[in-house]
Structure 1
């Protein structure tokens, strides 16, 4: 027979009211259940506290990461802006290099380049870096690339500065030649026909165009492109009204299809002087200037003699 434990319930007067017999096994089960409940409750409380701490930590970390990402994003934008500025400086150096070469062609000076190109082949551009890299690694890579390009720009600019210095020394000894060499646009307007072979606007056949055509309104000023002496003014067949300027050193410029000629034969002119006005005299499809440059009697491409 199972053992039991009796519980006697007494009144205040000591009289027995009720007697309850509880099996020992049940008491053990209840005790174990109580202990297990207490353990599970303790675990639940611990897990709850741990979860609260984890949530708070995760929120803090999320804010920190977001702030870091925003900061790195701003740094990345700054680096990219810096990269664009570097590219703009590179383009400007290339333009200066081309300008120097044009001056050397005009002044009949040899090239002073010691290298085939201004810039070497660079590494990855900021937008080309592998997005799978860690943000810090990508940023470090960007900064290394920027420093490399800045060092390259410093080297190239110093090299170009030295070349310009030598060029100025050479030009100083050829001042008269340069003043007599065409170097500016003869008029404002739009280039409508280039130097070289073209389809004739009148016959439709192939012909060699000895100069360039620049179109604008009738009466637009025509400028002498270099110092010289007017050697001819008058009509020349299909060219209409023409002004020819002899600049010496085998250099001659011709201005055709004029509406008005403002200089006389034998008159000295300076670069930039107004020598005529644009028109459509002779065989012409509309108001424009036909401009030629001749070197030792041979027509050459006038665009090689326009620096502005």
Structure 2
């Protein structure tokens, strides 16, 4: 056992007041070891504190990123649901239009019952963030792919409807639906007693009587195919309107159009007269469909 001592003297100006402290060497060695241990412990505590504080900062960052990602995915999910609902409405509207237009069901369309789901996303531990996000992204990709297919089908369907409406508009424009002249009908379509022979004969059009010079207009869009002098109908104009419709106008006093000229509904074709075989000023108006005479009154709207 070490029995050595160290003596410390404290000197002052007054020599009679000198003090000393006598300490065993082993005590000083113990104090050195304890000091070293305290220093090491303090250094470890400081290091551990710094590490924990850093971990907490990382944890806070991860939680914030997780929350941001969760909210973003939730927003995308809700938005997909909204788009899906709108597409479903468009699909219903498309079917109504097709029913009204008597068109068939489109080749591709959204199902009546959509499969989208929504709601709050469940809170999960950080260890499952990556897996949850991956699962949600895969689900979103599937939903987006299905919506893109629905959009493609809807675009094709509306394209068909657009083409049909254009064709329908052309058909309406080609239908002889307005009166070609003002006046009163003196002879209807069908069989009648001929004013020249007194016998029953077919009348392929209608006769509209009025003063000489009454304007004659095109009842529909078309192209003039002839403007000639006919032995029976006198000055005569024939217009082809498309979709099988053709109209003829006889007994005119004057013509304003020539063969090959395009006309619109309401275009002035000529003037009423008394040319050809006629008992008085009137317009002989004929409508034929695919070469067969039909009653013009069937198409007149006004």
Scaled to the shorter chain, the TM-score interval is: 0.3 to 0.5
Larger Rg: 2
